Amino acid sequence: MTEHRLAVVVLAAGMGTRMKSSRPKVLHEVAGKPMLHHVLDTSAALAPERSVVVIGAGMEAVEAACRGHRTVVQSPQKGTGHAVACASEALEGFHGANGRGTVLVLYGDTPLLTSETLRRMAALREGPDAPALVALGFRPADTTGYGRMLVDPGDGRLLRIVEAADAGPDELAIGLCNGGILLGDGPTLFSLLERVGNDNAKGEYYLTDVYGLAAEAGLTTRVVEADEEELLGVNAQAELAHAEAAMQRRLRAAAMAGGATLIDPETVWLSHDTELSPDVVIEPGVFFGPGVTVESGARIRAFSHLEGAHLGAGAVVGPYARLRPGTRIDAGARVGNFVEVKNAVLEPGAKANHLSYIGDARVGAKANVGAGTITCNYDGFGKFRTEIGAGAFIGSNTALVAPVKIGDGALVAAGSTISRDVGDDDVAIERAKQQIRPGAAARFRQFRGATASAERKSGKAKAL
Ligand code: UD1
Ligand code: MG
């Protein structure tokens, strides 16, 4: 039987005090995306009909980050079983007398969980013995603090889960631990939850008690096992860094599997949404913020920082380039060292090779922007645009005071401050007239030499 109706419950009521941060734990980011979004996106692969996030009191920031999914407030927090029960109303139709459907319970602080693992859980539930509940287990190197899973050695059914705080020595010796994720029949889960008590070491309503109650009632419950890494829960900053490192390994492996060359992968930091086409080359030390797409044959040279940018085929960027949101570097265009580009387009074959700021601008095809050129896009109040025509040549150390337009094929002389539009194929020059004084340098040295010597003799020479 295929079960199409699925509802997801994400437990995210804990503030995460061990993070020692004013930001709620689930909003801390991994690969540039809040942990909560990782979990919601992973579960989206199973096409849930509804998702509900259980949050704590005063967590408006988390509510705002729920992207229109329902939220329910759990206050006070009386345990994971209580948290799921709090979502009961929001899951109307998935349980109760006329309810039907599968409920998936996830934690908001496990960003490395994959949709493949969730699919394996769903497939097991739809398998021949159609277990009422499926738990996700793992075998961590350090089992401290985890619930232990007691499995029937004969048929592999999950008999119950014992929380570490309530476990005896024999139970603590069990290596199979509860990862916390649950997938089960909605009506069964919620009717079992009604029977969960809090007579235990922590005085909490444990979600894990539903497995023992199910087994006692003769229902089938099973375990799917996953890698320890997938179930890494983030509770403190060090674990956040650990999750980040693991996510980076995954993203780099996926980029290389897709045909990108990462010369020194360990030094490249990717964002959750970085898109690299085949035959892109990434040199060491490159940082990708969110929203970067790179087309085939482009090269990003060492120590560049990119976010919100698109690179066309064969574009070359860096070393030491900074591309900020709204940047488009078209096919074959070049951005060199110490060049910053923001909200600007470099059309095909355009070049800005050295020491420039190009903001709120269009640089036409094959135009050349000389070293040290700055688009002066801000007057302290507003932002203004600069247009540079195709094939234009902007001499070094030019200030382009926006709003300003340089025509196609125009030439701006080095060192100019351009505040009026320049027509197509015109030359613009804005400099003080140069003067030449023949022999003046030699006369200056002679004069200074004599006066400096007199000052020394009279004791008037300034102490340096
Ligand atoms: C839980 C499991 C344990 C498992 C471990 C895996 C229970 C009783 N125990 O223990 O078997 O090995 O996770 O990491 O479920 N939360 C709420 N409201 C609450 C309590 C918790 O929303 O009242 C949320 C937390 O924010 C967190 C998640 O539920 O995201 C898990 O809670 P936590 O306190 O970390 O459970 P553990 O004691 O680690
Ligand atoms: Mg925990």
Once rounded to an integer, what is the mean pLDDT over residues 23-43? 97
Say what the pLDDT of residue 461 is.
Answer: 65
Q: pLDDT tens digits, residue range 366-421?
A: 999 999 999 999 999 999 999 999 999 999 999 999 999 999 999 999 999 999 99
> Tell me: the pLDDT tens digits for 201-236?
999 999 999 999 999 999 999 999 999 999 999 999
CB 426 within 8 A of CB 410: yes
Pocket test for ligand 1, best of 80, 112, 206 (most atoms within 8 A of CB): 80
Given a cut of 60, is residue 67 above it in pLDDT? yes
How long is the chain?
464
What confidence tens digit (pLDDT) does each residue in 314-360 have? 999 999 999 999 999 999 999 999 999 999 999 999 999 999 999 99
Does ligand 1 come within 6 angstroms of the Cβ of 182?
no
Reported as a pLDDT band with limits 50, 70 and 90, residue 1 is: very low
Beta strand extents in 227-282 (DSSP E only): 261-262, 275-276, 281-282
Residue nearest to atom 21 of ligand 1 (CA): 80
| Distance in Å, CA 49 to ligand 1 centroid | 24
Confidence grade of residue 16 (pLDDT, cut at 50, 70, 90)? confident
Q: What is the mean pLDDT of residues 148-172?
A: 96
Q: How far is the CA of 90 from the centre of ligand 2 (A)?
A: 24
Nearest 10 degrees: Cα torsion 355, 359, 361, 366: 20
Higher pLDDT pick, 60 / 3: 60
Are 163 and 202 in contact by the 8 Å Cβ rule? The answer is yes
Please give the C-alpha separations between residue 441 and each of 67, 73, 452, in angstroms, as whole numbers.
Answer: 71, 80, 16
- Residue 446 alpha carbon to ligand 2 centre in Å: 81
Residue found by looking up tokens 């640089």 in the block: 363
Alpha-carbon gap, residue 328 to 317, rounded angstroms: 11
Which amino acid, residue 165? A
Is the Cβ atom of 107 under 6 angstroms away from ligand 1? yes
